[in-house]
Homo-oligomer: A and B are copies of this chain.
Amino acid sequence: MEKDRLDPWGTSSVKNYERLQSEFGIAPAAPLLKRFKKPSTHLSRGIDFGQRDLGVVLDAIDNSKPYAVMSGIKPDGAFHLGNKMTADDMVYFQSLSKKARVYYSIADVEAYADNGIPFTESSKIAVRNVADILALGLDPDRAVVYKQSEEMRVMRLSTIFSRGVTNNMLKAIYGERQIGLYMSALIQAGDILMPQLPEFGGPKPVLVPVGADQDPHIRLSRDLAVRYRSDFGFVPPSAIYHRLELALTGGYKMSKRSPESGFTLDDTPAEAAKRVRSAFTGGRDTVEEQRRLGGRADICPVYDLYRFHFARDDEHVELVYNECTNGIRLCGECKQEAIGLVKAFLEEHHKKRDSLMNDARELMSKSRDYLASTGKQ
Contacts and interface: CB of A to CB of B under 8 A. Distances in A.
B150 A162 contact: no
Interface in A152-178: 152, 155-156, 159-160, 162-167, 170, 178
B170 A109 contact: no
Contacts of A345: none
The copy count of this chain in the complex is 2
A13 interface: no
A159 B183 contact: yes
Contact of A180 (B114, B149, B155, B162): B162
Nearest to A149: B156
A162 B149 contact: no
A182 interface: yes
Nearest to A112: B160
A187 interface: yes
B180 A163 contact: yes
Describe A's contact surface by its main secondary structure: helix
Contacts of A187: 159
B179 A167 contact: yes
A1 interface: no
Nearest to A153: B149
Interface string A267-278: 000000000000
A167 B163 contact: no
Contacts of A170: 179
A156 B110 CA distance: 9
A150 B165 CA distance: 23
A262 B296 CA distance: 77
**Residue among A113, A165, A180, A186 with the highest chain B CB neighbour number at 10 A:** A180
Contacts of A183: 159, 162, 179, 183, 186
Given A162-B184, A167-B178, A179-B183, 9 more contacts: A112-B156, A113-B160, A113-B162, A114-B163, A155-B155, A159-B183, A162-B180, A166-B179, A183-B183
11 contacts: A109-B160, A110-B159, A112-B156, A150-B152, A159-B183, A159-B184, A159-B187, A165-B180, A166-B179, A167-B178, A170-B179
Interface of A: 109-110, 112-114, 149-150, 152, 155-156, 159-160, 162-167, 170, 178-180, 182-184, 186-187
Complex A-B, nearest 10 residue pairs according to Cβ-Cβ distance, in ascending order = A163-B180, A155-B155, A162-B183, A113-B163, A162-B180, A113-B160, A109-B159, A162-B179, A149-B156, A179-B182
